[in-house]
Structure 1
Amino acid sequence: MKKKTNKSILSILAISILVISAVIISLSAYISIKFADQGIEEMLFYLVSGTEGASNDVFISAVFTSLLPFLIIFCIIFMPIMKIKKRKNIIEVKIKNKEFFFNILPNNFIYKFRLLYAFFILFISLITCYQMLGVNNYIKSLTEYSTFIEDNYINGNDISMTFPKEKRNLVLLYLESMENSMIANENGGGWNYTVIPELEKLAKENVNFSNSDKIGGALPITGTTWTVGGLVGTTSGLPLKIPVNGNEYTSSTNFLSGAYTLGDILNKEGYNLKAMFGSNANFGGRTNFYKRHGNYDIFDLNTAIKEGKMKESEKVWWGFDDSHLFEWAKEEITSLANSDKPFSISLLTANTHFTDGYLESGAEKIYDTQYENVFAYSSKQVDDFVKWLQQQNFYSNTTLVVIGDHHSMQPDDYYTQRTYGGYSRTIYNTFINSAVDPVSSKNRIFTSLDMFPTILASMGVEIEGDRLGLGTNLFSDRKTLVEELGLNYVNKELGKNSEFYNHKILQDDYFDLMRKAKAQENQ
């Protein structure tokens, strides 16, 4: 009886390990396909900072998409140790009048050593994960050090910034996953037709910094290719690089404590600061970032429920749809404009988030794919918002910046099937009612990091040296770092470990001293 129990325990352990192995392989395949452009650093960031507030649809989609591959993989790796009472000999071999019988699958020999077999499969699954997710490159980057950030970083505390006598308001509108691909290729996009005509028109009629002589935008750079990374990059001129044990660096007091950001600058200049998200602002540590840098007043899903604007049961997609975001943003902007202080409000849409986006009931279904229809409706919503803003009495002294937070995360084949060969996907931008004109806005090579000083310059701020963080003011004639050194080189250097970033940006020396002093007090 005891022997039988031990065998049962052995089988349960083996099956459990095989289940884990199948999960690892199927999820690795899902991530490598669905997040082809995303690095392991992004995944680690969300593991560190938490996924509170993430859309349930994303998790449900991942589960359902991975379910069939998981079942197939599990059946394949489980078959060699299946317990069948009556086994049929599949192969019979005669050698010198002797008969040899072999069981292929299931196999008695493998079944006898099923636990060892299960650990072997687990090892193979970890190797598969290691290769698929690029863990090898990430580990390599941790062991390679670079002084690039230290050599090129410009701290806003160390240079002069001169605001105009009458400080301008700033409306900073982030469009989730908005890139230029869905603009007609004759105007700089990748599609044969335009899906976002209103955004295309806004870019043509206002300042659009481009990598070509048509509509274009920023190229992706390390540490900025997901939402929080994009928000950090465009407001600090720094990539978001968090170590594996970095949960303490994404807290409300420590989130990039050594960085000097747009929020810090505007807060120091007496601005009223507001940030609005159509989701839970805690997702990805956004609350901590905006509170730590500028002490923004935050409006998100939780705020909308608390203020009675919606019920918990009315939650859709990531929180509330973009129609409500723009509706409530108008109310908040009107309130901010009635103050005697200048204001800055940052908005982040959500409808165009992958996969396939969220199509509101009022949206037209013009195109073959839902994703296109979502983008088309988003373009109309932005245009309506811009027209409303232009009609307000405070508009003349307000700069509106409309930028994508990063590339779309829709699977790559969605774009390769619809864009022409050689098309370079870039992140959307347009500067409306800017206080200054650019020296040259076309044929520039730049990244999200360059948006930081450029946003300030569009408000009429004069920046000594035209550089902040690792970014360059695009309104000036100064070359960006990627124009000077090459995109591949800068990407490679930013991917390496940086002692300066770890000790000066992640945890400012001042905060180090404060922590040490507090620790000594507690002893």
Structure 2
Amino acid sequence: MDNAYAVFFVLGANTKGSDSGTFLSFFKNIIVPAGIIYALVLLGNFALAKSYKKATGKKFRSVLADADKCFVFGISYAVFAVVITLVMLRAWKYPAILYEVRKTPAHSDFYDKHYVDPASTRIAFPEKKRNLVVIFMESVESSFASIEEGGLFRENLIPGITSLAKANVNFSQNEKLGGGENLAGTSWTAAGIISKFSGLPYFAPFAKTEDGSLSCLRGAVTLTDILSENGYRCRFAFGSDKQFENRDIFLENHGVEIHDIHWYKAQGLIPMNYQVFWGFEDQKLFPLVRRELDELGKGSAPFFFGMLTVDTHFPDGYKCPLCPEIDKRQVMNVVRCADKQVSDLIGWMEGQSWWDNTTVVIMGDHNFLTAPHNNFIADESPVHGANARRRWLDLIVNSVLTPPQFVQKNRRFAPYDMFPTMLESIGCTIEGRALGFGRSLYSGEKTLVETYGAEKINAELMKRTEQYEALKKRR
């Protein structure tokens, strides 16, 4: 059902700056097969017409002119067309989602009991405030590791990240490298960022302001609100268009300065006519990130810096000159390349003067998007039922806290839990160790997913509530 939520909400948001390759993949794998089937149905109709002509002696034209036969052929064609479209797009789910989004908000006892409002929660920072860098790796899963290391592949596609995880903090669903699980309203980029920063799901989070513009969860206190209010410079870098999926509205509403492809072009750092994949590739993004961090690190204020990579995006990733030629599938080579570039960035950061006072959180924004016609994980993994074992990556480097293994491993957690966890990783003390629907993983206390299971959480949060609607409005 969550894939249906992703399609429904993404198509309803701003799609400016999207990659044409994604839509070409949709055309190739959905529209073309449907067209072929439609053509076969039409040929079948003509075959029936010819058989009718032989049996009755009527001319072919007279068959086509026969109102009854044309009606039957037309109805059969239409029925096949509708059925094929419904099956391929799972379109029957969208009216139910639309109904849920637009129905009268109801009061939620689950919100009353489990939503911890950051606005009324005491959060104390250490005397020396610590920098926070958050790296969202597009579609990157801990599943990309080898089976031996806790993943799903014969060979480890992310050896650099695996080494970092062993030396730092990695919360996992198993005893080895692992991560968190997607829930409804968290499994695409904008939803992944919103849920991890606010402890809330993406469920029609936008509202119109008095001047007619859109706002996003203005009444909710988020990670970047808390950091900004405590003197942090907050910045986020995209190698793509910040407006895609209205990501800019959420971040800018919550105290973040955004540098995207258009900003870098305006600064003369990217050629004005340059465009590949979703904007510009990670090979160009990482040097710009070093430049950004160097500037922030020289300032007197603590900083938050976020970034989103893009090369590992569905359907096959973007192959740059740095990508190795090891695997037959391009996307696997792109994953290896992404692992190397992120590991190199961490290595560079370790040599900077501000490193000792900086924590880095590396996360997949969500699981890699797959479909029956394009599921390289299921195709390449020797693990039976691989899809059910997939987790998005989480890794905290240079954390203030180092929890024991029994706190880190054999856990179930959602994107919401990263909100308080990230604050505790930089030395913050949180009353109750919970924010939003998130529970700090450092605490060792049960998360909501561990308590109720994913199905219950999805059922409670994927409906229109009075509390969520109130969080869409400025306090």
The offset of 1:159, in angstroms, is 0.9
Whether the aligned pair in 2 keeps the contact of 1:81 and 1:107 (CA below 8 Å) is no
Whether the aligned pair in 1 keeps the contact of 2:50 and 2:60 (CA below 8 Å) is no
| Letter of the 2:156 counterpart | T
CA distance in 1, matches of 2:215, 2:89: 31
CA distance in 1, matches of 2:261, 2:55: 68
| Letter of the 2:186 counterpart | T
Q: For residues 203 and 252 of structure 1, do their structure 2 counterparts lie closer, same or farther at Cα, with a shift above 3 Å needed?
A: farther
The offset of 1:462, in angstroms, is 0.4
TM-score by length of 1: 0.81
Whether the aligned pair in 2 keeps the contact of 1:176 and 1:349 (CA below 8 Å) is yes
Q: For residues 38 and 311 of structure 1, do their structure 2 counterparts lie closer, same or farther at Cα, with a shift above 3 Å needed?
A: farther
The offset of 1:286, in angstroms, is 1.1
| Letter of the 1:338 counterpart | K
More off after superposition, 70-79 vs 221-230: 70-79
TM-score by length of 2: 0.89
**2:393 is matched with which residue?**
428
Matches of residues 278-357 of structure 1 in structure 2 within 5 Å?
A: 278-294=239-255, 296-357=256-317
The offset of 1:253, in angstroms, is 5.4
| Letter of the 2:94 counterpart | V
Q: CA offsets, 1:52-94, max 9 Å, x none?
A: 010122223323444532432332454588799x96635638x
Q: For residues 370 and 345 of structure 1, do their structure 2 counterparts lie closer, same or farther at Cα, with a shift above 3 Å needed?
A: same
Whether the aligned pair in 1 keeps the contact of 2:207 and 2:216 (CA below 8 Å) is no
CA distance in 2, matches of 1:283, 1:127: 27
Q: CA offsets, 1:458-503, max 9 Å, x none?
A: 01000000100000011112211111122222122222332321x2
1:178 aligns with 2:146: no
Tell me, what secondary structure is at the counterpart of 2:392?
coil
CA distance in 2, matches of 1:422, 1:124: 28
Which of 128, 138, 150 is the aligned partner of 1:166?
Answer: 128
Q: For residues 136 and 104 of structure 1, do their structure 2 counterparts lie closer, same or farther at Cα, with a shift above 3 Å needed?
A: farther
The offset of 1:287, in angstroms, is 1.0
| Letter of the 1:286 counterpart | R
**1:506 is matched with which residue?**
472
The offset of 1:305, in angstroms, is 1.1
Tell me, what secondary structure is at the counterpart of 2:52?
coil
Residue correspondences, number: 462
The offset of 1:132, in angstroms, is 5.2
More off after superposition, 229-238 vs 135-144: 135-144
Q: For residues 125 and 410 of structure 1, do their structure 2 counterparts lie closer, same or farther at Cα, with a shift above 3 Å needed?
A: closer
Which of 384, 387, 403 is the aligned partner of 1:438?
Answer: 403
CA distance in 2, matches of 1:367, 1:88: 51
Whether the aligned pair in 2 keeps the contact of 1:364 and 1:377 (CA below 8 Å) is yes
1:260 aligns with 2:226: no
Q: CA offsets, 1:86-130, max 9 Å, x none?
A: 96635638xxxxx99999986832326887777766765675577
Q: For residues 128 and 194 of structure 1, do their structure 2 counterparts lie closer, same or farther at Cα, with a shift above 3 Å needed?
A: closer
Q: For residues 198 and 128 of structure 1, do their structure 2 counterparts lie closer, same or farther at Cα, with a shift above 3 Å needed?
A: closer
The offset of 1:181, in angstroms, is 1.4
1:210 aligns with 2:175: no
The offset of 1:374, in angstroms, is 0.3
1:134 aligns with 2:75: no
Whether the aligned pair in 1 keeps the contact of 2:207 and 2:214 (CA below 8 Å) is no
CA distance in 1, matches of 2:22, 2:166: 35
| Letter of the 2:55 counterpart | E
1:273 aligns with 2:234: yes
Tell me, what secondary structure is at the counterpart of 1:443?
coil
| Letter of the 1:460 counterpart | G
Structure exhibiting the larger radius of gyration computed from Cα positions? 1
Tell me, what secondary structure is at the counterpart of 1:92?
helix
CA distance in 1, matches of 2:82, 2:313: 35
**2:7 is matched with which residue?**
43
The offset of 1:256, in angstroms, is 1.3
Tell me, what secondary structure is at the counterpart of 1:435?
coil
Q: For residues 437 and 260 of structure 1, do their structure 2 counterparts lie closer, same or farther at Cα, with a shift above 3 Å needed?
A: same
**2:182 is matched with which residue?**
220
Q: CA offsets, 1:388-425, max 9 Å, x none?
A: 00000110100111111000013363222333124411
**1:376 is matched with which residue?**
336
The offset of 1:47, in angstroms, is 2.5
CA distance in 1, matches of 2:393, 2:65: 58
| Letter of the 2:424 counterpart | A
Q: CA offsets, 1:240-291, max 9 Å, x none?
A: 0018xx6738x86521122110111111001101100110011011111110
| Letter of the 1:231 counterpart | I
More off after superposition, 307-316 vs 370-379: 307-316
Whether the aligned pair in 2 keeps the contact of 1:261 and 1:293 (CA below 8 Å) is yes
Which of 64, 69, 88 is the aligned partner of 1:110?
Answer: 69
Q: CA offsets, 1:13-40, max 9 Å, x none?
A: xxxxxxxxxxxxxxxxxxxxxxxx8522
CA distance in 2, matches of 1:126, 1:323: 39
Whether the aligned pair in 2 keeps the contact of 1:232 and 1:238 (CA below 8 Å) is yes
Give unpaired runs (5+ residues) of structure 1.
Answer: 1-36, 94-98, 511-523
Whether the aligned pair in 1 keeps the contact of 2:186 and 2:202 (CA below 8 Å) is yes
Tell me, what secondary structure is at the counterpart of 1:314?
coil
| Letter of the 1:425 counterpart | R
**2:160 is matched with which residue?**
198
CA distance in 2, matches of 1:310, 1:434: 34
Whether the aligned pair in 2 keeps the contact of 1:275 and 1:345 (CA below 8 Å) is yes
* Identical columns (%): 31
Q: For residues 377 and 120 of structure 1, do their structure 2 counterparts lie closer, same or farther at Cα, with a shift above 3 Å needed?
A: closer
